[in-house]
Amino acid sequence: MTNWRSRDKRFESVSAYYPGARLLRQDPLECLFSFICSSNNHISRIHGMVNKLCRRYGTKLVMVKQSESSARDAEHLFSFPSLEQLAEASEEELRKDGFGYRAKFIVGTVKQLREKTEGGTEWLAGLRSVPYREASSALMTLPGIGPKVAACVCLFSLDKFEAIPVDTHVWQAAVAHYRPDLEGKSLTPRLMTVVEDTLIERFGPHAGWAHNVLFLSELAQLKKKLPEKLQTPQKRKAKSPAKAKSPTKAMKKKKGE
C-alpha cells in the first residue's frame, strides 16, 4: 500500500479513510451466481436473492439461536447450493421469487456449466490457473456475463488481482482523476478496457486491490467519510432540450383561442 501511495496522489489522499478494506476469495460457483444476481441491482436486493437461492436449493447447516429465551428466534442457515442443486431451479420458479430477467441467465448458466466435459465446478476452478484475459473471455461465454461481471468473478474468486470491474462508480473516478480525456463519453466495453489498462499501468499486478479502496471512496454511503474537498464531484445530467410543438398542435391551440 505504501508503494501505491507513493505512485498515486488520489490513492494517497483517500486510503487513510478506509482502513481494513479487504477482498473476498469466494468459491467460484457462489461468486459467479451472486454476481449474476447483482446485474442492475442494489446490495439489499442482491443479498435477498442469494439468500433465496440458499434457502430454496441449498443444504441446511445448523440452527442458530438468536436468543436463549425463545426457540422462536432460531434461524436456519443454509449452504450455497451446488451446481446439481441449482439445476432444480426453473426459470418460472425464479421469476416468481423475484429474480426477474436474471432467472433466464441463472438457468442458462447452470445448463452450460453442467455440459462441460470436466464438470462445471471443475471448469470454473480451472480458470484460476489461466491468464486473466483468458479467464474473463471464458466467463463471457456464459449467459448474462459481460465484462464487468467477469472482472468481478475474476477478482473475487479466481485470483486475478489485476482485474478491475469498471462500473459507474469506477468510471466516474477514472474520468475525474485519471482519464479526463474520457469526459462526456459513454461507458462501453472498449472503454472499460481502457480504464482497466490505465489503472493496471498505475498500480501494477495487484491493481484490483488498489481499485477496491478507490471504489469505496465513490460509494454514496461511504464517500461521506472523506473531507468534502476529496469527494469526487457529482456530474450534473445534461438537461433535455425543450420539445418543439408540432405544427398540428399549434394549429389546434390557435383555433381554440
Percentage of the chain modeled with pLDDT above 90: 75
**Is a pLDDT exceeding 50 seen at residue 229?**
yes
Using CA atoms, how far apart are residues 47 and 38, in angstroms rounded to an integer? 9
* pTM (global) more than 0.95: no
DSSP element (H, E) containing 183? none
Percentage of the chain modeled with pLDDT above 70: 86
Residue 117: the pLDDT is 96
Helix, strand, or coil here: 39?
Answer: coil
Cβ 179 vs Cβ 194: under 8 Å: yes
DSSP element (H, E) containing 199? helix 189-203
**Gyration radius of the chain over CA positions:** 23
CA-closest candidate to residue 164, choices 187, 193, 130: 193
Catalytic pick among 52, 104, 116, 148: 148
> Residue-wise over 208-231: b if at least 16 C-beta within 10 A, else e?
bbbbbbbbbbbeeeebeebeeeee
Residue 234: the pLDDT is 76
148 included as an active-site residue: yes
pLDDT tens digits, one per residue of 83-131: 999 999 999 999 999 999 999 999 999 999 999 999 999 999 999 999 9
pLDDT tens digits, one per residue of 164-207: 999 999 999 999 999 999 999 999 999 999 999 999 999 999 99
